[in-house]
Structure 1
Amino acid sequence: MRCKPHALFAGVCLLLAHVAAAGVPTGLALPPGFGLTVYAESVPGAREMAQGAQGTVFVGSTKGEVYALTDADHNGVAERVRVIARGLQLPVGVAFHDGDLYVSAVSRIYVLRDIERHLDDPPAPELVTDRLPGETHHGWKFIAFGPDGALYVPIGAPCNICDPGPDHGKLIRMRPDGSGWQDVALGIRNTVGFDWQPETGRLWFTDNGRDLMGDDLPSDELDRIDRPGQHFGYPYCHQGDTPDPEFGRGKDCRDYTPPVLKLGAHVAALGMRFYTGTRFPPRYRGAIFIAEHGSWNRTRKAGYQVVVVRFEHGRALPPEPFLIGFVREEKALGRPADVLVLGDGSLLVSDDLTGAIYRIDYRP
């Protein structure tokens, strides 16, 4: 693979090979030694990803379908892209648990039983619960099973800025059968990505800041839950130190949990995962990769990249650009939505604008 320095980031390798698939942007850039290939195309509206026990990659979408991608010969390219569910309402979230695939669909959670044994004849989605709020504003749900075996489900605020009341603006968990709901954290505007740190077991999540406070306020957040029931400030306080112009009157930001890191205003930080593989160099092991979907109403675009948050002596360092090149002359060529560490240690990135799934490998 040929490589030359990228004009925007010193020491970043500009990759020109292996991205020639239809509709996929060229000129995506990674740090030296990393390579990028197209793992799969034709996954319209690709959002959250999950890997099954037999290696199948499941992808939720904004288009009403759920996909299964299989790489039978383990060459880093999915030979088959199957649709395993159709006609669901924004089935963005997917989570694999004990052989079953759970799918979020705004007010409902479904499950496809024993899915990897039935990819060619998928079962009808079985309803787990239909008790979630039905608003589509921040109603698209990233879901995941925690180390406790519970399904974690966000309930975003049904607005840009409002008092969401007790039924919105939080993260909950439930048993796999949909029972036993519990609030995990409050004061969350809209989290579309979370993961558990392997060393500590603590839950970290991204949260999108509100709009219409200007180009540079407030920042999206990277947060950590240290105890159940923490309140992270929404709608009263943003980014840990900025009272809301309307709902922050009479409030003190010190009464709420501040973010671990500010990620930048309007970058739309979505899917995030801890890097648990060994394929990447040691400096990336245990780090957090975050997909930044990108701004929609900023004067100049922000986000549109994958960043990495590394740790030094247990402290999270500021985010560093990792995969860039999705914006050219203020035109969006792609929009990263999620990241997923595969069993072989490579990293997948979903792009809901082009419908592509990229695979990042390290091969110095």
Structure 2
Amino acid sequence: MVSTSTVSPGCSSPNAKVCLSPAHAAQDNVSTLSNFKETGNKTPAETVPQTGQRADALRENLKAIKLPPGFKIELYAVVPDARHMAIEPSTGVVFVGTRKTRVWQVTDRTKRRVADDVVSFASSVTFKVPNGVCFSPDGVLYIVEQNRVLAFPAAQFFGEGGPDVAAAVVVPQGKLIPAEFESFNHGARACRIGPDKKLYIALGQPWNVPPKAKLGALDTNGLAGIIRIDQDGKNREVYAHGVRNSVGLDFNPKDKTLWFTDNQVDGMGDDTPPGELDRATKAGENFGFPWYGGGKVRTADYKDATPPANVVFPQVEFAPHAADLGMSFYTGKMFPAKYQGGIFVAEHGSWNRTKPIGARLMYVTVKDDGTAGETEVFAEGWLTSTGEYMGRPVDVQQLQDGSLLVSDDYAGAIYRISYAGGK
């Protein structure tokens, strides 16, 4: 192993004895951190100001958001590029992934339900699209990058100390997916720890519709699907097949079934095909892609091909091209009984529809038999009447007090929705 004292990431130092690429340098740092050693990085963690004109403007924009009676929305934190969130079970510290190179640590120290500070987490590690963040029940933070999985025990405490944190490699760099399938398109992962204590990871495939010659390799590796592995990276298997690009998943705490969003095929028209909210009841089910582009709408590329037997169609068909991303079951008690046990879904908003749609939160009821009931708009207003985005919700997660956090990568913020009306 090369000593980190002689390594210059990117060969920027003339005194470096060995030059490594940034990716290799980051991997070396992870190896150092996994042995509880210091990397020598003394650069202070990047901080994000929580006051000033930007925060004031975000609060002003929130006045346009429409919610059901009794609910209110407030700015929780200014967080650049905020994507998926993981809330530490005992302290409520929020870790926020991005589609860039940072993971943010958001801390509410006084429990006023607003962030006191936002700092970069584990800056000694060079992340690549660290979108997927999730906690195990015993407090281990998993970060799923485009092509690597890392674990950080006691992240909320180690992260306070600076750029170096305790870390472990779950899936090494370049081993989550084959390098040939690496793409910025559909490269943002989502993850959850299941009731079986395994780590579930959604792996979007890189095409709008993949060529038939690539289907076998995609399926073998779990792309266009959801995989599950042990928390140490072993015993990998494909749990769900035929999933174009899921960027949100959660388990129903009542019956332990896995639910996930799936983004539909582009280029088939403004009003087709629908977005999806799916329910997996067992391992090995196929959800229809690429034979179906969304719902029961066949794709042009596979219209003459026979779909797999027993395709599982979605529980909910959302508006076409609204870009349904993060989702979570509501298990809190703050909200009225109507919302308890249901699902909140963040719609990011369309990018190529003639008239944009989405940029809102949807609510889906879950019936006693475990299937989806009625669907309604819960929060909207980030998309103006003139078709301009003020924000684009990405994820929705629940704080310990039963309020909801909503991330927004366009505005660079996290919002908090609470309820104070009559029950």
- What's 1:322 paired with? 378
1:184 and 1:228 in contact (8 A); partners too: yes
- 1:129 pairs with 2:164: no
Relative distance call for 1:312 and 1:171 in structure 2 (3 A) is: closer
The residue type equivalent to 2:56 in the other structure is A
* Structure 2: gaps (5+ residues): 1-53
- What's 1:85 paired with? 122
Secondary structure, counterpart of 2:338 in structure 1 = helix
Find the aligned partners of 2:70 and 2:353 in 1 and give their Cα distance: 33
1:240 and 1:257 in contact (8 A); partners too: no
Decide which structure has greater strand share: 1
**Counterparts in 2 of 1:1-364, with a 5 A limit?**
21-23=56-58, 25-26=61-62, 27-41=64-78, 43-52=79-88, 53-86=90-123, 87-97=126-136, 98-121=138-161, 122-123=164-165, 125-130=167-172, 131-133=175-177, 134=179, 135-136=182-183, 137-162=185-210, 163=212, 164=215, 165-166=218-219, 167=221, 168-252=223-307, 255-314=310-369, 315-328=371-384, 329-364=386-421
Find the aligned partners of 1:230 and 1:247 in 2 and give their Cα distance: 19
Q: Deviations over 1:260-302 (max 9, x none)?
A: 1101111110000000000000000001000000100000011
1:241 and 1:253 in contact (8 A); partners too: no
User: How far did residue 125 of structure 1 move?
Assistant: 4.3
Find the aligned partners of 2:257 and 2:149 in 1 and give their Cα distance: 24
- Scaled by the length of structure 1, the TM-score of the pair is 0.91
Q: Deviations over 1:221-244 (max 9, x none)?
A: 010001210000100123342221
Relative distance call for 1:169 and 1:37 in structure 2 (3 A) is: same
User: How far did residue 311 of structure 1 move?
Assistant: 2.9
Rg bigger for which structure?
Answer: 2
The residue type equivalent to 2:351 in the other structure is W
Find the aligned partners of 2:234 and 2:82 in 1 and give their Cα distance: 29
The residue type equivalent to 1:321 in the other structure is V
Relative distance call for 1:44 and 1:174 in structure 2 (3 A) is: same
Secondary structure, counterpart of 2:156 in structure 1 = helix
Secondary structure, counterpart of 1:327 in structure 2 = coil
Decide which structure has greater helix share: 2
Q: Deviations over 1:173-216 (max 9, x none)?
A: 01111111011010000110111111111111100001000001
Find the aligned partners of 1:85 and 1:104 in 2 and give their Cα distance: 14
